[in-house]
Chains A and B, each alone.
Chain A
């Protein structure tokens, strides 16, 4: 069974600083990987997804993530944090094959300091 671990339940960065949110997966074969963002009292919105081919995936709002098979990681980055980036971020994994079940990590709360 696949699983995903997000290191750091809370991350604080200053406005304009680099954002790095960590995600490691556990799967017998490389899975599909996703990053979702959840703003307060709202549903989840897809930031980006890795399904195959390019290991560097660009998403919305300036975020990107790199799939590293050797490290079983899919860390989310953004060069310069904006106040509006403050939210909860979830990494999710899905097994290759017919099942569409997403398994989510425990989430990382990003705080952006002025």
Chain B
């Protein structure tokens, strides 16, 4: 009954490859996010989707493309992987905020290592 799940948990790949990370939430939330945590544990927002529409798109390379087939899923596709893409990627979700400031719930993370 995991609230926010990500697959895979670990991803080791070669430079130049294309890979995807999947995220699913079963909380009925309407907004989902992708964060990147670097080797120094600094966390930075990458993308956010609200009801399948992009509402935040921070200055990440266009090699990164979020795809949301429905509001329970927000996948992250990465083209032409580079060494600097090695990081932990976290998916998160939150509820509509008509009644107050909602908590963001995080997935367990995907540890990406580019060789």
Give the interface of A toward B (CB within 8 A): 32, 36, 38, 41-46, 49, 51, 88, 90, 94, 99-104, 106-107
Assess the B104–A43 pair: CB atoms within 8 A: no
Assess the A43–B90 pair: CB atoms within 8 A: yes
Q: How far is the CB of B68 from chain A (nearest CB, A)?
A: 16
Assess the B97–A43 pair: CB atoms within 8 A: no
Cβ of B66 under 8 Å from chain A: no
Interface residues on B, range: 20 to 34
- Bound complex: CA of A68 vs CA of B24, how far in Å? 37
Give the interface of B toward A (CB within 8 A): 4, 31, 33, 40-45, 48, 55-56, 90, 92, 94, 97, 100-101, 103-109
Q: How far is the CB of B40 from chain A (nearest CB, A)?
A: 7
- Bound complex: CA of A90 vs CA of B43, how far in Å? 9
- Bound complex: CA of A39 vs CA of B90, how far in Å? 14
Q: How far is the CB of A37 from chain B (nearest CB, A)?
A: 11
Assess the A88–B41 pair: CB atoms within 8 A: yes
Contacts A43-B4, A43-B107, A101-B48 given: A32-B101 contact, CB under 8 Å? yes
Assess the A104–B43 pair: CB atoms within 8 A: yes
